[in-house]
A and B are shown apart, each in its own frame.
Chain A
Amino acid sequence: MKLVIEIKKYLSSTIITRKSIEVLKAACLEESLEFCVFDFSEIDFISRAFADEFIHFIKTLDIKTEIINTNENVTEMIDAVQRNRGKRKSSYRKIAVTKFGKTEELDRFLSLI
């Protein structure tokens, strides 16, 4: 069975949070589902956080999936997430830490911002 999910019917044109994925999960509960098409028409923007959850979700669905009608923003975000799956930064950067002994020193620092 094929299902086309028009995301605009479930979520706003800007999709921000990871938890938004719960709405799409609920929409895909059909047991005999073999093929799911996610239609992103009229979706202006998705956050990286949501894109990460979305890619993770469709990979766990274990059925054929297709993503259609993505605008440039949505395409860039999904591509960025997919490009970096499995990669992780191995380096850790130490950042300079300062503790000011006097209030005047903190004031001086804050005047630099």
Chain B
Amino acid sequence: MRYEIIIPNPGSDEMGASFNSLFVVLGQLDTITINDELIINLQDLSFVHPFLVLPICCFLDKVKQQNVRVDIINVGRINNYLETIFFPQGFNSLAYDEWKQFLLSFRHKTYLPICQIPVAVCDLKMREDLLTSFENILLEQLRITGQMVSVVKYLMGEAIDNIVDHAKVEGGWIMVQNYPKKGYMDICILDGGLGILGSYQTNQISGVDDDVDALEHAVNGNSTKKITETRGYGIDTSRRMLVDGLKGKYVLFSGAAFYVYTNELEQIISLDRNIKWHGTMLALRIPCDAPEGFNYAMYLE
């Protein structure tokens, strides 16, 4: 079958606006199957928000492997930008010998290309090098210093380790957009793998029956692995550090459950079954400056 999906423009930089558009898209993608044809129409899109665009990249990558033919049309005014950020295929460092030099060319910009995160064990050194370079360029773009350097590295590190350790995928994805005049950066890190529920089920952890349960357990720091009580801190510490400490925003989306933690609210939204992320998506809005009195080390457990 042939499907055409018009990507709705979020209309604002608010996180919720991106997710609103994303949910509209996911609801239409739910029925795509092997050998279908998918047209992605960007006629309405005027700005490329990571929380909308990165999951689309991951989804398109997955369906192409299922012989779905994908065409992207009406890129119009954002075409040059989309090419610069490697939409939709993402920048694959494994395919470029000079990947470090290439990423360095972004250090005076306000964005970084969509990057694939290699996960295979044999790519370990490449992965760590890539992420180190990525982080350092990001910090240089926003001239972040002091303990905010540790914060950004902590938040990104824990999220990426969760993909490598739990998702059972060949690769993850990361995209960053900086808003220097607004004083924050948006980081989206995701995978199209098992999802949090799938990870608990694979490890035969009892008492986790659906996506909502899975998110609640993850936020409470219950590891998906049976071994050792020293695991399970990443999500809980990250969300407290970002929101309680820095007044940022933390969103975790896996399966049909959507966890939001901000200064104003904490909720899990149980979504309709056709709005589902097959994997795990982390969306962070990180202020560039720490409030007075913030102490990064206080949040480490």
Contact B132 A49 (CB under 8 A): no
Contact mask A51-85 → B, CB, 8 Å, 1/0?
Answer: 01001100000000000000001001100110111
Contact A95 B158 (CB under 8 A): no
In angstroms, Cα B128 to Cα A18, docked, is 11
Chain A, range 11-65, C-beta contacts under 8 Å to B: 11-20, 22-23, 44-45, 47-50, 52, 55-56
Chain A, range 69-113, C-beta contacts under 8 Å to B: 73, 76-77, 80-81, 83-89, 92-100, 106-107, 109-113
What residues on A are CB-neighbors of B216 within 8 Å?
94-95, 97
Is B279's CB within 8 Å of the partner chain A?
A: no
Chain B, range 159-217, C-beta contacts under 8 Å to A: 160-161, 164-165, 212, 215-216
Contact A113 B262 (CB under 8 A): yes
5 closest residue pairs by CB, A with B: A47-B157, A110-B16, A113-B16, A80-B300, A49-B161
**What are 27 A-B residue pairs whose CB atoms fall within 8 Å in the complex?**
A11-B128, A14-B135, A15-B128, A17-B160, A17-B161, A20-B124, A45-B153, A45-B157, A47-B154, A47-B157, A48-B157, A48-B233, A48-B234, A52-B231, A80-B297, A80-B301, A81-B230, A83-B301, A84-B301, A86-B229, A98-B267, A98-B269, A98-B270, A109-B269, A110-B16, A111-B17, A112-B16
